[in-house]
Amino acid sequence: MADMIRLQDVHLTLEGPAGPLAILSAVDLCVEAGDTVCVYGPSGAGKSSLLAVIAGIERATSGRVEVAGVELSALDEDELARFRRQHVGLLFQAFHLVPTMTAEENVALPLELLGRSNALEQAARLLEEVGLGHRRAHRPAELSGGEQQRVALARAMAANPPLLLADEPTGNLDAATGREVLDLLFRLREERGTTLVFVTHDRDLAARCRRRVEMREGRLADGR
């Protein structure tokens, strides 16, 4: 099966108060299309930065970053934004919903950016799929944390991206609600055949992915 992600000798160095800071060092990672991969490790290990590089939110200082057959360094900022809209769904610990928009409008947003004429209809169907059809006219402040993350999941999957990047998506939820959101996430991923890269510091959550790799101090260890 073809690789959805291929990282070769990737480094990320950012400027800190005391000078250059190595965030990622010599990272090599291949993820097959349709696979589920968990990157786990302690806080500050570089897990979120790794997702940011894969998504093209951060540009690698050096090395090769290829996603869905596209070398990201060859794209300018506008091209990167278009690439993300078409190929990458993003799910964060902080829900990042637009507070002035309803649940339906939040889910429709990526579809509207892609020029879909039936964006609101598709958003309504997705909210039904995540069990929130009855809450589609509510704004984020009127929703519980679990409901907000379901809206964020529906938005991340709205354009049916081949790749979903999830960064501690249950970190702001209680254990029971977190399990419900994870069950939903893995079900949607399975139904669509989406490639999933999931970041957590929780080994129990890591066990839900087919493959697990450990990150420490900006380096990726061999995984299982």
Q: Which domains does the chain have, with CATH numbers?
A: 3-216 (3.40.50.300)
Burial class (CB in 10 A: 0-12, 13-18, 19+), 176: exposed
The confidence band for 60, taking pLDDT boundaries of 50, 70 and 90, is very high
Are the C-beta atoms of residues 95 and 148 closer than 8 Å to each other? yes
Q: In the β-sheet with 88-92, what is the strand arrangement from edge to edge?
A: 88-92, 163-167, 195-200, 36-40, 211-216, 219-220
CA distance 41 to 24: 14
For residue 204 the two structure tokens come to 């129990």
The confidence band for 93, taking pLDDT boundaries of 50, 70 and 90, is confident
pLDDT average, residue stretch 64-84 = 94
pLDDT average, residue stretch 29-58 = 94
CA distance 188 to 149: 14
The confidence band for 224, taking pLDDT boundaries of 50, 70 and 90, is very low
pLDDT of res. 223:
47
pLDDT of res. 222:
62
Does residue 13 have a pLDDT over 70? yes
The confidence band for 1, taking pLDDT boundaries of 50, 70 and 90, is low
